[in-house]
Chains A and B, each alone.
Chain A
Amino acid sequence: MSGRPASRPVFLPILAAFTIWAVGFLALYGLQATGCRLGWQDAELLPGVTHLRLALCLLLAGLAAAVVAVVLRLRRLPAGFARTVGLAVSLAAAASTLFSFSGVFWLSLC
């Protein structure tokens, strides 16, 4: 057994951002369904803003922050395959996060 391979992680940079997206997807869907089941859509915090909507928006903000954090972290990687592909995938994940979940701001919840 020779010494540890001198390789940097390749898959982590490529998979991290979209894994957050996927987990966030399940979390948002689960939160929405749980909220509807427990009646959180009936309690209004402000006019028109229910507890459930607020919770969903906060969760989405958290997700977006996490994905952006991944993008920023990747920018510090040395140039190379992992960085190029990782950044491309992570930017796609960031765009997807906004694109796929922005319904929580305005669509009917239950």
Chain B
Amino acid sequence: MSNEPERHPNAIHRHRALDAIWATGPGLQRLAAVNHNVIGKRFMLTALVFFFIGGVLAMLIRTQLASAQSPFLDPGVYAQVFTMHGTIMMFLFAIPFFEGMAIYLLPKMLGARDLAFPRMSAYGFWCYLFGGGIVVAALVGGVAPDSGWFMYTPLSSRLYTPGINADVWLLGITFVEISAMTAAVEILVTVLKLRAPGMSLDRMPIFAWYMLVVAGMMLIGFPPLILGSILLEAERAFGLPFFDPTRGGDPLLWQHLFWLFGHPEVYIIFLPAAGVLSTLVPVFAGTPLAGYRVVVAAIVSMAFLSFGLWVHHMYAAGIPHVALSFFSAASALVAVPTAVQIFAWLGTLAHGRPRFSVPMLHVFGFFTVFVIGGLTGVMLAMVPFDWQAHDTHFVVAHLHYVLVGGFVFPMMAAAYYWLPHLTGRQPVHHLSKIAFWMVFAGFNLTFFLMHLTGLRGMPRRVHSYPADAGWEALNYLSSVGSFVMAMGFALVALDLLLIARFGRAFRRNPWKAGTLEWAMPTPPTAYGFAALPAIDRRADTLDPDRIGPELAAGRGYLGGTRNGWMETLGVDMATGRPDQVVVLPRPTHLPLATALATGGFFLALLFKVYWAAPLFAAVVLALFLRWTPQTGLTADLGPLPIGRGEEAPHHAEAEAPPSQWAMVFTLAADGTLYVSLLFGAFFLWLSAPNWPPEQLGGTAYPAQALGMLGLLLAAGMGRRAVRKAAGAVPALTAGALGYAAALAGIAWMAWTALPDPTAHAAAASMAAVLAYAGLHAGIGLVLALYGIHRVRRGFVSPRRTLDLRIGRLWHDYTAVAGGVALAFPSLLATLARHGAVP
């Protein structure tokens, strides 16, 4: 192993050397791909397949509704069709599509060679593919979810949906959400740590700011949904009555958990599209984005506000008016940061020399359609109006104006804009314009009329309607419009294929953009940049035509190769000063294998082969541990030259390497899930009928004390281990013993102080909280043992304590969360006893 990089005499030589290191192999090696180019494209293509399936379902809906009493679909099938349409569009199309786009674009825009955790993105992709596959297989098999895309319980409970339809949704979508969580962590760490030197936060291309905020929102937004799905599946499978009003549960808890995710979700979908607009509009205006800092402030504000309006989906649930007013006001207020962005784009256009071209046509589509969606959104935010419009076709119209205007049109603009990057070919406009106008006209015909249909009283999710209600002509026209739109989408697809196949080749930077992704060969090489640039200004006002050739000539950072490592630079979050050389893992089949095992776990639950689920979980754990030998160092290297006369340590020796941040963010998501669970139990006490329970239980002081002491010991020893570094084995052994004691305490507690968890939601909540603590203690135990293993294998030295520091984060969190968990049953029992008001 050598610290000195190997220099290359010319660009061709350099390309060969880098390509040999970075490229994905042929044949079965493709299944081992981890490169962001490959994974990003796979995400996007798969999402488009799902968009097609969802679109076909939409056409079935419109065919059914074209006439009043259509015999085409029976009510049961219709329910599957609209549920799957919504589910596919939201979970399997929109989110994965922008994830793929971010995976593909972010490293390039940031001046990095790949994402921070390439194997994780591959694993996320397989989880997405398999989870989506399960859901679509259920559709083919006629047992698809059928309770609507928000799966309200009790309709989705065991009693009213006895088949596996609801389980398919709960398990399949949770499986898919693994990919959202991995993408969130991946994007956060990549944007924060893997940038070109000199790219301080305030020089990041604006798209990176959008994705940073979106990833943060995903980190906080998805856990409530995942929690809700776990709880509902636990109710369906094991009878824990979290949502069953006859046993102290509450269907409203599901609505809170779902919409606490579901509304931010809409902004999670919109913001990447807005990021695209903030990138494209300045390029076509020929001037930098106006008010960069104001836009950053607007998206941060929007992110927060979007978490304060979930109850606007529950205005009709009988919640007190003052509470509704909080949510109503926040819903109205979120229009302000939206308007700020819209006027930033208008201001940019006003101060530039706009060129009109096909992407701009879709930007026009965005402006018209999204503004209507935004205006109807403000209307729906007004409580009294929503009391009328809620659950009607007015809402269907509104949500499509927002989603198609705020996502599909910008994505089509993005497709036309970045297709040259993906394929190296430039548009030849034959079909593009007519395709756009067909989508645009068809869309408006379909959905504009639906506002009126809804106000005239047509509820959503009905498969037929009385002929004399006066809705037939409107519905018929909507259906005609939808077929025009479908043909338009087909033309867009054809057009894009033609461009990819027959477009004109170009040299570089066809749109005269100022971002780094154009400073590389197109279609891109696996390694992207032959050398990493130094950034000295805002990274959307660069000159790719100048930077590109320089980088190809190896003038920049990491222009050589070293030990066959896949290297990219890590920087200080705020300043962008390089602080480590991040060495990325090679292609491997492990992500695929791990995802298959994960799929086995979910299938075991789905088909109720419960004995197999823990086995698969164990296999997943074992496979994840197999990921690790590739990472880390067994000897201290000291500073490595990175070019331009500078040096930086290997990430294993760095102060804040990506994996440490990944653990911080993972724990943030985990903590959100936990807090949602605790709040959920509190909510049940507040709101659910049939409280207090007959049996309270909740206290077993010796067990609680044992558990807490064990956790404290484990955390203390985790800290000691970091100080001892290579001599950490005794501390880690003591930590493992602490966890053993903690697990014993938790089990003892569950045994003696827990009433029957199927009898009442209070006991079920206690069981859930204890299970959470037990799971964390179990993982903590594995981490302590893993630490011992890494020390023994020589991965740890005073300079290289990363493994132990990651462990310490987990042990600290587990001590806090577990301590709360052990006290929680007593607290809940006390609340239930004293707050027992009629």
Which residues of B are found within 8 Å of A34, using beta-carbon distances? Answer: 686
In residues 91-110 of chain A, which contact B (Cβ within 8 Å)?
92-93, 96, 99-104, 107-110
A101 to B293 CA separation, bound complex (whole angstroms): 27
Which residues of A are found within 8 Å of B322, using beta-carbon distances? Answer: 32, 56, 103-104, 107-109
Cβ-neighbour of A22 out of B294, B308, B682, B799 (below 8 A)? B308
Which residues of A are found within 8 Å of B293, using beta-carbon distances? Answer: 81, 84-85, 88
In residues 53-110 of chain A, which contact B (Cβ within 8 Å)?
56, 80-81, 84-85, 88-89, 92-93, 96, 99-104, 107-110
- Asked if residues A96 and B307 are in contact (CB atoms below 8 Å), the reply is no
Cβ-neighbour of A89 out of B301, B326, B579, B686 (below 8 A)? B301
In residues 543-579 of chain B, which contact A (Cβ within 8 Å)?
572-575, 577, 579
User: Interface majority SS on A: helix, strand, loop or mixed?
Assistant: helix
User: Interface majority SS on B: helix, strand, loop or mixed?
Assistant: helix
Q: Indicate if B333 sits at the interface (CB-CB under 8 A).
A: yes
- Asked if residues A100 and B686 are in contact (CB atoms below 8 Å), the reply is no
Interface size, chain B (Cβ < 8 Å): 43
Q: Indicate if B323 sits at the interface (CB-CB under 8 A).
A: yes
B201's closest neighbor in chain A, by CB? Answer: A10
Q: Indicate if B305 sits at the interface (CB-CB under 8 A).
A: yes
Interface residues on A, range: 35 or more
Which residues of A are found within 8 Å of B304, using beta-carbon distances? Answer: 18-19, 21-22, 93
Cβ-neighbour of A8 out of B202, B297, B574, B654 (below 8 A)? B574
B322's closest neighbor in chain A, by CB? Answer: A107
B571's closest neighbor in chain A, by CB? Answer: A5
- Asked if residues B649 and A1 are in contact (CB atoms below 8 Å), the reply is yes
Q: A43 to chain B: closest CB distance in Å?
A: 13
Q: Indicate if B300 sits at the interface (CB-CB under 8 A).
A: yes
Q: Indicate if B628 sits at the interface (CB-CB under 8 A).
A: no
Q: Indicate if A33 sits at the interface (CB-CB under 8 A).
A: yes
Q: A29 to chain B: closest CB distance in Å?
A: 6
Which residues of A are found within 8 Å of B837, using beta-carbon distances? Answer: 37-39
- Asked if residues A14 and B326 are in contact (CB atoms below 8 Å), the reply is no
Q: Quick one: CB contact mask for B282-322 with A, threshold 8 Å, 1 for yes?
A: 00000000000110110011001101100000000000111
- Asked if residues A1 and B653 are in contact (CB atoms below 8 Å), the reply is yes
Cβ-neighbour of B300 out of A18, A28, A32, A80 (below 8 A)? A18
- Asked if residues A100 and B320 are in contact (CB atoms below 8 Å), the reply is no
Q: A22 to chain B: closest CB distance in Å?
A: 6
A18 to B303 CA separation, bound complex (whole angstroms): 10
- Asked if residues B323 and A96 are in contact (CB atoms below 8 Å), the reply is no
Known: A29-B323, A100-B326. A10 touches B654 (CB 8 A): no
A99 to B411 CA separation, bound complex (whole angstroms): 34
- Asked if residues B686 and A85 are in contact (CB atoms below 8 Å), the reply is no
Which residues of B are found within 8 Å of A96, using beta-carbon distances? Answer: 301, 305, 330, 333
Which residues of B are found within 8 Å of A88, using beta-carbon distances? Answer: 293-294, 297
Q: Quick one: CB contact mask for A1-45 with B, threshold 8 Å, 1 for yes?
A: 110011111100011001101100110111011101111000000
Q: Quick one: CB contact mask for B389-420 with A, threshold 8 Å, 1 for yes?
A: 00000000000000000000000000000000
- Asked if residues A109 and B296 are in contact (CB atoms below 8 Å), the reply is no
Known: A7-B573, A108-B322, A109-B322. A92 touches B337 (CB 8 A): yes
B291's closest neighbor in chain A, by CB? Answer: A88
- Asked if residues A89 and B297 are in contact (CB atoms below 8 Å), the reply is yes
- Asked if residues A5 and B579 are in contact (CB atoms below 8 Å), the reply is yes
A7 to B799 CA separation, bound complex (whole angstroms): 23
B305's closest neighbor in chain A, by CB? Answer: A96
Cβ-neighbour of A99 out of B296, B329, B654 (below 8 A)? B329
A77 to B201 CA separation, bound complex (whole angstroms): 17
Q: A13 to chain B: closest CB distance in Å?
A: 11
A99 to B331 CA separation, bound complex (whole angstroms): 11
Cβ-neighbour of B333 out of A6, A30, A56, A100 (below 8 A)? A100
Centre residue among A100, A107, A108 by max chain B CB count within 10 A: A100
B296's closest neighbor in chain A, by CB? Answer: A85
Q: B271 to chain A: closest CB distance in Å?
A: 15
- Asked if residues B297 and A5 are in contact (CB atoms below 8 Å), the reply is no
Which residues of B are found within 8 Å of A99, using beta-carbon distances? Answer: 329, 333
- Asked if residues A85 and B333 are in contact (CB atoms below 8 Å), the reply is no
Cβ-neighbour of B202 out of A25, A30, A81 (below 8 A)? A81
Which residues of A are found within 8 Å of B572, using beta-carbon distances? Answer: 5, 7
Q: A7 to chain B: closest CB distance in Å?
A: 4
Which residues of B are found within 8 Å of A101, using beta-carbon distances? Answer: 326, 329
- Asked if residues B333 and A10 are in contact (CB atoms below 8 Å), the reply is no
Known: A1-B649, A29-B326, A100-B329. A36 touches B320 (CB 8 A): yes
Which residues of A are found within 8 Å of B307, using beta-carbon distances? Answer: 22
A25 to B333 CA separation, bound complex (whole angstroms): 14
- Asked if residues B655 and A1 are in contact (CB atoms below 8 Å), the reply is yes
Q: Indicate if B687 sits at the interface (CB-CB under 8 A).
A: yes
Q: Indicate if B325 sits at the interface (CB-CB under 8 A).
A: yes
A3's closest neighbor in chain B, by CB? Answer: B655
Which residues of B are found within 8 Å of A10, using beta-carbon distances? Answer: 201, 573-574
A10's closest neighbor in chain B, by CB? Answer: B574
Which residues of B are found within 8 Å of A8, using beta-carbon distances? Answer: 574
Q: B514 to chain A: closest CB distance in Å?
A: 19
Cβ-neighbour of A18 out of B201, B301, B685, B686 (below 8 A)? B301
A90's closest neighbor in chain B, by CB? Answer: B297
Q: Indicate if B835 sits at the interface (CB-CB under 8 A).
A: yes
A79 to B388 CA separation, bound complex (whole angstroms): 49
Known: A5-B574, A5-B575. A92 touches B330 (CB 8 A): no
Q: A101 to chain B: closest CB distance in Å?
A: 6
Centre residue among A8, A33, A89, A92 by max chain B CB count within 10 A: A92
Q: Quick one: CB contact mask for B685-710 with A, threshold 8 Å, 1 for yes?
A: 11100000000000000000000000
6 closest residue pairs by CB, A with B: A103-B325, A88-B297, A81-B202, A7-B574, A18-B304, A100-B329
Chain A interfacial positions (CB closer than 8 Å to B): 1-2, 5-10, 14-15, 18-19, 21-22, 25-26, 28-30, 32-34, 36-39, 56, 80-81, 84-85, 88-89, 92-93, 96, 99-104, 107-110
A-B contact pairs, 23 of them (CB 8 A): A1-B649, A1-B799, A5-B572, A5-B577, A5-B579, A7-B574, A10-B201, A19-B304, A21-B308, A22-B304, A22-B307, A33-B323, A33-B683, A80-B202, A85-B296, A92-B297, A99-B329, A100-B330, A101-B326, A102-B329, A103-B321, A107-B325, A108-B322
Chain B interfacial positions (CB closer than 8 Å to A): 200-202, 293-294, 296-297, 300-301, 304-305, 307-308, 320-323, 325-326, 329-330, 333, 336-337, 572-575, 577, 579, 649, 653-655, 679, 682-683, 685-687, 799, 835, 837
20 new A-B contacts at CB < 8 Å, known A33-B686, A80-B202, A96-B330: A1-B653, A2-B579, A5-B575, A5-B579, A14-B297, A19-B304, A25-B308, A29-B323, A38-B837, A81-B202, A81-B293, A85-B296, A85-B297, A92-B336, A101-B329, A103-B322, A103-B325, A103-B326, A103-B329, A107-B325
